[in-house]
Amino acid sequence: MLTRWRASNKAFTLLELLIVIGIIAVLAGLIFAVGMRARAKARATSCGNQMRQIGMALGMRSERGVSERWAHSVEKWSTHEPLLLCPAGPQDGMTNYGVNEHLVGRPAQGSDTGAVVLLYESKRAGTIVFGGESDVDERHMGGANYVFLDGHAKWCGEVPEFGG
136 φ, ψ (degrees, to nearest 5): -75, 130
Full-model pTM: 0.68
At 76-119, the pLDDT tens digits run: 666 666 778 888 877 777 778 888 887 776 665 665 667 788 88
pLDDT in tens, 44-80: 888 888 888 888 877 665 555 666 666 666 666 666 6
DSSP characters for 46-100? HHHHHHHHHHHHHHTTGGG-B-TTHHHHHHHH-SSGGGGS-TTS--SSSEEEEEE
Buried b (16+ CB within 10 A) or exposed e, 147-156: bbbeeebbbe
